[in-house]
Structure 1
Amino acid sequence: MNTVAVVARAASFSPLRCYVLEARLELLRLLRTPSFVLPTLLFPPLFYVLFAVVLAGSRGGSDTGRYLLATYGVFGVMGAALFGFGVTVASERERGLLTLKRALPMPPGAYLMAKMLMAMAFATIISLTLALLAGTLAGVWLRPAQWALLLVINVLGVLPFCAIGLYIGSRVSGSAAPAVVNILYLPMAFLSGLWLPLSVLPPVLAKLAVAWPAYHLGQVALKVVDRDGGGSLAIHLLVLGAVTIGFFALALARARLARSV
């Protein structure tokens, strides 16, 4: 009877259920981690209220609100992806959790897919919160298609930063990962024009902004609200795609090398 039960259970095994369960547990785990969830979900809307509503006031009008709606959305999804991958992967790798997961009867991609879906879920929450604040407090008016497109850009925009975070997590220790992510995250946000327009930065720094993936994602989002610098959309998307593929490939190569040693 026990053998029959085991065979029946094996026959009903569903890889899709493994993906769903892993994603659900990853999301619940991070929602129960205040050190991750509070800054990730609160900093972008707090900064938006401070700079787009309180400090801008009547001087900035809806133009400032539109600009910061796009750029702080990018700033928020960057944090969710970089910290969600960079810090957690490094910590789990150091504790041996990745070795354990490789020994479990689960699809190889379930672990990465769960983390990507987690980052997309947080990106959705951040985007909707900023949209609510922009529409109610900052007086921003956009067409329904623009609101929807901003949401799509933010949700898909986590992918390059998930890839960068995965590479960081595969390279550094769990204790060093938060510092490494912060050293990358905050300067990249500032130098990409997410906090201030590039026109107010020194010309040398403004010219170097194109080296940052956050700049390209920011320009894609700013195109939706008609506040971008006029660059080619195809170039921005090409850079983001190259960063995503390149860093995922580097991280996977690093993981294979570590297993072979």
Structure 2
Amino acid sequence: MNTVRIYQKEAWYDLLSVWRTPGFVLPSLAFPVVFYLFFGVIFNRSGGSNTAAYMLVTYSCFGIMGPAMFNFAMNIASDRAHGWLTLKRLSPMPVAAYLLAKMSTSLVFALLIMLLLFSTAVLFGDVRLAYSQWLLLLLLLLVGTLPFALIGLMLGLTLSDKTAPGVVNLLYLPMAFLSGLWLPISMFPPFLQQLGWVWPSYHLSQIGLKVINMDQGHALWVHLLILTITSALLAGLALWSFKQLTAEKA
């Protein structure tokens, strides 16, 4: 079997495995849409389409974070606990195929979530954007899954299968709130607005809001630089965690 075929099969089986888990699929797809319907549409009687567009971007960021973090953290921790990760490492399959399969699954869910949110925004929120803005948001948020996948990877390599879900929730939900994904960050006290700079989700949402001219006005390169540095640091930590894991198994 050639290398490309191995990557394709691993990606397909990973997606199939996750898709057969209703406890993962339903919350991942439903929560961002339901939250957006409530806060971006139903309770947005005075804000109009501008607020609906703003919250479309922030809830899209919220939506793509979850599958990336949970898919990597929970499934890798589970594979470690049950010996599947060791088996895959010892098999002829490249380790990269295993990781890219997880990433492709996260991207599929990110795409589905964005399509659901975009459709909801158009049909119920009266959001109207240029085609270039829709496309740019789509591409931005797909690429933007990377730092959250790396967070999940690092947690999956270091936590047990029992503690991983709780730790991811403890990180995911406060990160979303403090980044201004549920409520506009301009509504927060000044010290909480400053705290938002710590989180990659804040910088991703600000880049997305810049696409529709509703960001806080900071330079694009600042957000890109911080996201790049954050992703590089997370990748380094994940690599170190993997080397520690393989050293223990040796």
Name structure 1 gaps, 5 residues minimum. 1-12
**Structure 1 residue 27 and structure 2 residue 30: aligned?**
no
Shift of residue 202, structure 1, vs aligned partner: 1.6
After TM superposition, the structure 1 = structure 2 runs for residues 142-157 of structure 1, keeping only pairs within 5 Å, are 142-157=129-144
**Structure 1 residue 90 and structure 2 residue 77: aligned?**
yes
Which residue does the alignment assign to 1:69?
Answer: 56
2-structure distance, mates of 1:112, 1:133: 32
Instruction: Say which of 120, 138, 148 aligns to 1:133.
Output: 120
Instruction: Say which of 173, 198, 202 aligns to 1:215.
Output: 202
In structure 1, what residue type is equivalent to 2:12?
R
1-structure distance, mates of 2:55, 2:167: 26
In structure 2, what residue type is equivalent to 1:148?
L
1-structure distance, mates of 2:101, 2:219: 33
Shift of residue 257, structure 1, vs aligned partner: 1.5
Name structure 2 gaps, 5 residues minimum. none
Which residue does the alignment assign to 1:78?
Answer: 65
Give the length in aligned residue pairs. Answer: 248
Which residue does the alignment assign to 1:38?
Answer: 26
For each residue in 1:127-159, what CA deviation from the matched residue of structure 2 results, as whole angstroms up to 9, or x when unmatched? 111110111100000000000011101111100
2-structure distance, mates of 1:224, 1:93: 40
Aligned Cα root-mean-square deviation (Å)? 0.9
SS in structure 1 of the partner of residue 126 of structure 2: coil
In structure 2, what residue type is equivalent to 1:34?
P
Which one has a bigger Cα radius of gyration? 1
Shift of residue 108, structure 1, vs aligned partner: 2.3
2-structure distance, mates of 1:258, 1:188: 27
> Which aligned runs of 4 or more in structure 1 are off by greater than 3 angstroms?
none
Shift of residue 224, structure 1, vs aligned partner: 1.0
Shift of residue 91, structure 1, vs aligned partner: 1.2
Instruction: Say which of 15, 31, 41 aligns to 1:53.
Output: 41
* Identity across matched positions, percent: 48
In structure 1, what residue type is equivalent to 2:226?
V
2-structure distance, mates of 1:237, 1:20: 31
For each residue in 1:209-228, what CA deviation from the matched residue of structure 2 results, as whole angstroms up to 9, or x when unmatched? 10111100010111111110
Which residue does the alignment assign to 1:248?
Answer: 235
Is the 2:185–2:193 contact (alpha carbons within 8 Å) kept by the matching residues of 1?
yes
TM-score by length of 1: 0.93
Is the 2:157–2:245 contact (alpha carbons within 8 Å) kept by the matching residues of 1?
no
TM-score by length of 2: 0.97
Shift of residue 259, structure 1, vs aligned partner: 1.6
1-structure distance, mates of 2:47, 2:20: 38
Instruction: Say which of 200, 222, 242 aligns to 1:235.
Output: 222
SS in structure 2 of the partner of residue 109 of structure 1: helix
